[in-house]
Amino acid sequence: MHRHRSSQLGIGLDKDESYSVTADFFLSFSNPTSLMILDIVRKKGMTSEEVPRKPGIKPQTAVTKLNAMERQGILASRVRSQKTIYRVADLKILKAFDRILKIAGKRLKQSGSSEKELSGITRKGKKPSKTVPGAFDR
């Protein structure tokens, strides 16, 4: 099988590898808790003990998510006074995060759907459509 170099990435990965790395990267954003943690940490560096003080985040969940996002290169950490402080690794990640949130907000507004409907749970018990209105709009 002939492999093409990914000119967009510019890091010497072939396309199959770049798709795999990208998919793994996006898995870090596959649930609301991870997104909430990224949004919390964006404002200032925080320790794993500080993050669970925010509503709805359990301490062990915070540690698990912080470690996963660090492995993916989304967050970076440093140890200070025997505590690990996490921060966003690259400001470009925040720019992408903000764009994705904006697109999601626009989709919600356009469809008038609730979060439950978008996640596949409808109030009337009907199966959701497999397509999102306007999914291919640019």
Q: What is the pLDDT of residues 43-69, one digit of tens each?
A: 888 998 888 877 778 889 899 999 999
What does residue 137 show for φ and ψ, rounded to 5 degrees?
-70, 150
Instruction: Output the CA torsion 9→101→97→123 (10° steps).
Output: -90
* Band (21; pLDDT cuts 50, 70, 90): confident
- Is 109 a residue whose pLDDT tops 80? yes
Query: What is the sign of the dihedral through the CA atoms of 57, 63, 66 and 72?
Result: negative
Phi, psi for 78 (deg, rounded to 5): -145, 155
pLDDT score of 128 more than 80: no
Q: Where does the chain show beta strands of DSSP type E?
A: 46-47, 75-80, 83-88
The pTM of the full predicted model, rounded to 2 decimals, is 0.65
Compute the chain's Rg from CA coordinates. 18
Q: What's 54's DSSP letter?
A: S
Backbone angles phi, psi at 90, to 5 degrees: -150, 130
Distance CA 62, CA 35 (A): 11
